[in-house]
Amino acid sequence: MITHEPNPIYVAHPDRYKTMKYQRCGKSGLRLSRLSLGLWQNFGAVDSQANARNMLRRAFDLGITHFDLANNYGPNFGSAESTFGNIFKQDFAHYRDELIISSKAGYDMWPGPYGIGGSRKYLVSSCDQSLKRTGLEYFDIFYHHCMDPETPLEETMQALDYIVRSGRALYVGISNYQPEQTKEAARILRELGTPLLIHQPRYNLFDRWIENGLTDVLKQEGVGSIVFSPLAQGVLTNKYLNGIPADSRAARPELIYLNNKDITPEKLQKVQALNALAETRGQSLAQMAIAWTLNNDAVTTCLIGASRPAQIDDSVAALNNLAFSADELAKIEAILK
């Protein structure tokens, strides 16, 4: 008779906090691991649950305490939260107070007029759905995922304030807000008594829009930041050094956030030059790209993605060399000019 062994009980590595670096988030009392794990991709219903579980375990074993979700992560919408909920119940419920778990709402989620935007109706309903999918009693951080120009900012911020006051979340954040919108959101939340904790913008060597005013606002307002897409969807890795591989994201026309039009010969030359500089630092290009984002003093933590546990190890190794000399920074600017 064939018997199946039950899944072994997960016990986190006892040394998980000895090497990971942590930084205070803005002016709050909360410290975040310098790297956070995003569940945007590879945690959906179409992905391997076993691989997802191994990645979450590996991240926590390495001292990554922040897991980042959103209502529409998948595919399908909501499935990344469901995947996380199943794994959390098996492996992480005992470690709940050691974790920062976040989710978001803002983009299109369900049919009809109440499944998108920044209204109180949508944000509270979506938060409740996300809590149900994850099986959590509360989120540590709940974000408005994107600015909604059709909803008064006051209503959106009041909804976030209510989500905290009702016990659904401990802190609130915003994502993809422009500098003036961020400043106004911070003002409204401060007056409501629920300070803005964190902003989540896209930031990497090729996409530096946050340097045009947003980082100044964040520092002035005492707001932390968690930057996503530090590797520019894989462009800032060794994957494209010799062109576009057939199995890469850029070769998949259905992926609207990266395609072969983004990988120009000019950009490939820059990637190759950056890779050569990374080698002189004793790092891979991906490690240098991650370290570079953390060199910005407005950045609290860098949000990494992964498709297998080894990639998490590689990203964490970037923390071994975060310092850049003035000469290295000048060379980077010259390459990107």
Which one is predicted more confidently, 155 or 2? 155
pLDDT at 263: 83
Q: In which band, very low, low, confident or very high, does the pLDDT at 2 lie, cut at 50, 70 and 90? A: very low
Poorest-pLDDT segment among 6-15, 105-114, 245-254, 284-293: 245-254
pLDDT tens, 74-104? 999 999 999 999 999 999 999 999 999 999 9
218 Ramachandran zone, left/alpha/beta (phi>0; psi -120 to 50)? alpha
Residues 173-193: what's their mean pLDDT? 98
CATH 3.20.20.100 fits 22-231+296-307, yes or no: yes
What pTM value is reported for the model?
Answer: 0.93
d(CA 180, CA 199): 13
DSSP bridge pairs for 31: 24
Check pLDDT > 60 for residue 61.
yes
CA 189 to chain centre: 22
pLDDT at 252: 44
Measured CA to CA in angstroms, residue 45 lies from 79, 228, 275 at distances of 5, 22, 35
Residues 230-248: what's their mean pLDDT? 81
Q: In which band, very low, low, confident or very high, does the pLDDT at 255 lie, cut at 50, 70 and 90? A: very low
Tally of CB atoms within 10 A around 309:
18
Measured CA to CA in angstroms, residue 267 lies from 237, 248, 262, 335 at distances of 13, 16, 8, 10
Query: Hey, where are the domains in the chain?
Result: 22-231+296-307
